[in-house]
Amino acid sequence: MTTIKTFLLVSLEQFRIDIRFKKRYFFSTLITFITNLIVMAGVVLISMPAVAYGEEIESVLQLSNAGKLIGFIYFFLGMVSLGLAQSQVEGWRQVGVIDNIALSPLGVSGVICTRFLPNYLSTLISTFISAGILSLIFKFPIEWHIGILVLNSLIASFGMFGLGLILGGLTIRFKQVGMLSNLLFILLFALGVMPIDYDMTGTFSPLARLFPFTQGLIRTRHALIPGFEDTINVPMFLFLVCSFALFLVGLFVFRAFEKDSIKRGTLGAY
Amino acid sequence: MMNALELHNVSKTFKAGKNEVVALDGLSLDMQQGKILALLGPNGSGKTTTVRASCGLLTPDSGQVKVLGKDISKYKSQVLKDIGVLLEPGKGIFQNMTVMENIEYWGLLKGIQDRRQLESKGNELTEFFDLEDKRSTLANALSTGMRQKLSLCCTLVTDPKIILLDEPNVGMDVEASLDLVKRLRWLAREKGCAILVTSHQMDFMEDLCDEAAFISNGRLILRGSIEEVRWMFQQQNYKFTFRLPESDDFDPYARLSGIQSFKTDLPNNMAELIVDSNSTSMNELMKFALDELLEVVALEVVRPSLKECYQMLFAEGVVTNDNH
């Protein structure tokens, strides 16, 4: 019970820290935001030339654009959640605090988990603002059902966070798995912007039905794009189970590597 | 009295490629509440491994570590709050947080749930370590010594019963180092903390610690109170201070054996002679003074310092450390 309370209090503290850091390092926060905005604008402009025509956009392209923009928002959220555990392990090792964190009742995995929600929300807000600005600049129509987007992306990000815990665990053991995470980021990007068929008939459909990132993407596209609301073919139950299962597998793998590194005495070795 | 920390026959071997390095080789050690134990030994002797094994950051290959009577491998989460560990000099803090933010965050992580308690603990510790005017300063803007003090604040935030300190005075100036001795001794005497310290600064260790444990190749080779250790070496010297006679033929080397040093460059024409008590007795020394008609200013019994004991034990080849 005490550990659960500590977990909740540390999670709340992470929100405070995030806000404090954004204020303290405002310039850096602003630069990161502008960079993401430019990248997002670049993707919109390069992959969807039709947006240049603004409101005169053809309806089919409009659907495609809307779907791809949702995918791009998912990519940002998925990337941040996927990279969280690995970046924390590397960062804590560099600063020299990972051993001290391991000596807290939550352990390294527990403290990383307290960072998931603040991290997700911070990215969500910044991505929403970016998407909002772009939709205004390019007169890009998108149905803003924030509740649906948040719920689905949160569950999908949770699954991605689980996958990231596996990467984090590998980082504890093997130190250099940066290239692997870069590869996964590119795969996520491809999955985010590729036109996964709304009716789930494409080549990747069987995988997409089981992978939380694509599950969330499909569910959101179906819910937000007019005319597809009633065709959601990934049940919420399956989505939740897959996401939690990936998280649990990730947590198990991470803790196994954490325990192994304590046995070897190499946790803080950098 | 129950021991605060016990290591029973602890062994640990590290693999470095195809080689194996024995870090701990059946080490047994115990510490009582209210005592400060110096863990001494050359580089690679197993000091840091002992500290890490004592707090559960490293699992021994064999043997048992008990904290307050509980086996750390079984009750780690229960005993962690009773242990404060300072692992690497100037580390263990977040550089982009202020002094107070660091103390409060580490306190929260270690299970203090009351924010007011965290705040008062932060105020208390910053006063204790003279950091009260740096509370809002970012850790990366502090000097090395101050960062070390902040690391100590974070180590002590939960009022641990057992404190493990690996090189705690690194980067501290003489005044801060003496101050640290005072504060750690206060924690041991008044709060009953058991403190295990490793450092290569022998003067600091001699001022601070009640007991010393010498380890080499992961084995305990000598253990005792600082006084006992100094007696064990049987190298008691006499320090004899006198006014230098005017005669040119004054030569103590011709009359006394076992002269360790003879200084004649002291102010007011004074001289200082240090003689090994095993070679020259007090009577012989007095007879020498009478015969030479010396104006004796002082005669003291001098035992070796901890640093000299250490040098005799390791540097002069009594014990070698052949791990590295």
- Whether the per-residue pLDDT at A199 is higher than 70: the answer is no
Q: In chain A, what is the straight-line distance between the N-terminal and C-terminal CA atoms, in Å?
A: 34
**CB-CB: which of B80, B88, B97 is closest to A103?**
B80
More confident residue, A253 or B258: A253
- Strands B237-243 and B295-302 turn out to be antiparallel
Per the rule left: phi > 0, alpha: psi between -120 and 50, beta: everything else, A200 is left
Determine the residue of chain A that is closest to B102 in CA distance.
A17
Q: What is the architecture, at CATH level 2, of domain B3-231? A: 3-Layer(aba) Sandwich (3.40)
Instruction: Find the mean pLDDT for residues A189-208.
Output: 64
Say how far apart CA A197 and CA A207 lie, in whole Å: 13
Instruction: Find chain A residues with C-beta within 8 A of B95's C-beta.
Output: 95
Q: What is the three-state SS of chain A?
A: CHHHHHHHHHHHHHHHHHHHHHHHCHHHHHHHHHHHHHHHHHHHHHHCHHHHHHHHCCHHHHHHHHHHHHHHHHHHHHHHHHHHHHHHHHHHHHHCCHHHHHCCCCHHHHHHHHCHHHHHHHHHHHHHHHHHHHHHHCCCCCCCCHHHHHHHHHHHHHHHHHHHHHHHHHHHHHCCCHHHHHHHHHHHHHHHHCCCCCCCCCCCHHHHHHCHHHHHHHHHHHHHCCCCHHHCCCCHHHHHHHHHHHHHHHHHHHHHHHHHHHHHCCCCCC
Q: Do A265 and B106 touch (CB under 8 A)?
A: no
Q: Do B83 and A101 touch (CB under 8 A)?
A: no
Rg (CA), chain B: 24
How far does B322 lie from chain A, in Å, by closest CA?
Answer: 21
Instruction: Find chain A residues with C-beta within 8 A of B105's C-beta.
Output: 13, 17
Determine the residue of chain A that is closest to B49 in CA distance.
A265
Q: Do A97 and B58 touch (CB under 8 A)?
A: no
Output the pLDDT for position B153.
92
* Of A111-115, A247-251, B44-48, minimum mean pLDDT range: B44-48
Q: Is B92 on the interface with A (CB under 8 A)?
A: yes
Say how far apart CA B256 and CA B321 lie, in whole Å: 36
- Strands B237-243 and B259-263 turn out to be unpaired
Mean pLDDT of chain A: 81
Please name which of A73, A17, A6, A100 lies closest in space to residue A224, comparing C-alpha atoms: A73
Say how far apart CA A29 and CA A22 lie, in whole Å: 6
Residues with Cβ within 8 Å of B290's Cβ and at least 6 positions away in sequence, in order, are: none
How does pLDDT run across A168-185, given as a tens digit for each residue? 998 888 877 777 777 887
Instruction: Find chain B residues with C-beta within 8 A of A13's C-beta.
Output: 105, 108
CB neighbours of residue A68 within 10 Å: 20
Exposure class string for B80-107: b at 16+ Cβ within 10 A, else e:
bbbbbbbbbbbbbbbbbbbbbbbbbbbb
Q: How confident is the model at residue A155 (pLDDT cuts 50, 70, 90)?
A: very high
| Alpha carbon separation from A145 to A59, A149, A152, A220, B271 (Å, rounded) | 19, 6, 11, 9, 93
Exposure class string for B14-36: b at 16+ Cβ within 10 A, else e:
beeeeeeebbbbebebbbebbbb
**CB-CB: which of A24, A103, A106 is closest to B85?**
A103
Q: Is B192 on the interface with A (CB under 8 A)?
A: no
Helical residues (DSSP H) of chain B, grouped into ranges = 47-54, 72-79, 99-109, 115-128, 144-156, 174-191, 202-208, 226-232, 252-255, 282-291, 306-310
- Whether the per-residue pLDDT at A57 is higher than 70: the answer is no
DSSP string across B254-294: HH-S-EEEEE---GGGEEEEEEETTTS-HHHHHHHHHHTT-
Output the pLDDT for position A254.
94
Q: Do B14 and A24 touch (CB under 8 A)?
A: no
Q: Show the tokens assigned to B9.
A: 């026959």
**CB-CB: which of A6, A21, A99 is closest to B57?**
A99
Determine the residue of chain B that is closest to A5 in CA distance.
B113
- Whether the per-residue pLDDT at B156 is higher than 80: the answer is yes
**CB-CB: which of B57, B81, B92 is closest to A262?**
B57
ipTM here: 0.84
- Whether the per-residue pLDDT at A48 is higher than 70: the answer is no
How does pLDDT run across B42-96, given as a tens digit for each residue? 888 889 999 999 998 899 999 999 999 899 988 888 888 889 999 877 778 999 9
- Whether the per-residue pLDDT at B194 is higher than 80: the answer is yes
Domains of chain B by residue range = 3-231, 236-302
How does pLDDT run across A220-237, given as a tens digit for each residue? 877 776 666 666 678 889
Q: Is B228 helix (H, G, I), strand (E, B) or coil?
A: helix
Say how far apart CA B27 and CA B2 lie, in whole Å: 19
Rg (CA), chain A: 19
Q: Which of A18, A98, A99 to mutate to test the interface with B (most CBs of B within 10 A)?
A: A99
**CB-CB: which of B49, B87, B97 is closest to A100?**
B87
Output the pLDDT for position B324.
39
- Whether the per-residue pLDDT at A124 is higher than 70: the answer is yes
- Whether the per-residue pLDDT at A161 is higher than 90: the answer is yes
- Whether the per-residue pLDDT at B98 is higher than 90: the answer is yes
Angle at B321 between CA B319 and CA B324, to 5 degrees: 165
- Whether the per-residue pLDDT at A238 is higher than 70: the answer is yes
Mean pLDDT of chain B: 86
How far does B295 lie from chain A, in Å, by closest CA?
Answer: 60
Q: Residue B319 has what DSSP assignment? A: S
Strand partners, B10: B27
Q: Residue B311 has what DSSP assignment? A: I
Contact, B47 vs B39, CB < 8 A?
A: yes
Say how far apart CA B174 and CA B178 lie, in whole Å: 6
More confident residue, A177 or B8: B8
Please name which of A149, A131, A146, A174 lies closest in space to residue A43, comparing C-alpha atoms: A131
The two counts, helices (H) then strands (E), for chain B are 11, 14
Say how far apart CA A75 and CA A73 lie, in whole Å: 5
Q: How confident is the model at residue B118 (pLDDT cuts 50, 70, 90)?
A: very high
**CB-CB: which of A2, A95, A262 is closest to B111?**
A2
Say how far apart CA B88 and CA B171 lie, in whole Å: 12
Q: Is B93 on the interface with A (CB under 8 A)?
A: yes
Q: Do B55 and A24 touch (CB under 8 A)?
A: no
Q: Show the tokens assigned to A38.
A: 């430019």
Determine the residue of chain A that is closest to B158 in CA distance.
A104
Instruction: Find the mean pLDDT for residues B1-14.
Output: 88
How does pLDDT run across B272-295, given as a tens digit for each residue? 888 887 788 888 888 888 888 888
| Cβ contacts from A onto B, under 8 A | 82
**CB-CB: which of A13, A95, A101 is closest to B108?**
A13
CATH value of B236-302 in 3.30.70.100, 3.50.50.60, 3.30.1280.10, 3.90.480.20: 3.30.70.100
For the whole model, what pTM was predicted?
0.82
Output the pLDDT for position A195.
58
* Of A2-16, A133-147, B213-227, minimum mean pLDDT range: A133-147
Q: Is B59 on the interface with A (CB under 8 A)?
A: yes
Q: Is B73 on the interface with A (CB under 8 A)?
A: no
Q: Is B57 on the interface with A (CB under 8 A)?
A: yes
Say how far apart CA B324 and CA B132 lie, in whole Å: 43
- Strands B219-225 and B237-243 turn out to be unpaired
Angle at B38 between CA B33 and CA B42, to 5 degrees: 150
**CB-CB: which of B49, B55, B105 is closest to A103?**
B55
Say how far apart CA A11 and CA A17 lie, in whole Å: 10
Output the pLDDT for position B193.
92
Instruction: Find the mean pLDDT for residues B229-242.
Output: 78
Q: Do A6 and B111 touch (CB under 8 A)?
A: yes
Please name which of B82, B218, B94, B76 lies closest in space to residue A259, comparing C-alpha atoms: B76
Instruction: Find chain B residues with C-beta within 8 A of A102's C-beta.
Output: 57
* Of A99-113, B252-266, B306-320, minimum mean pLDDT range: B306-320
Instruction: Say if B3-231 and B236-302 have the same CATH topology.
Output: no
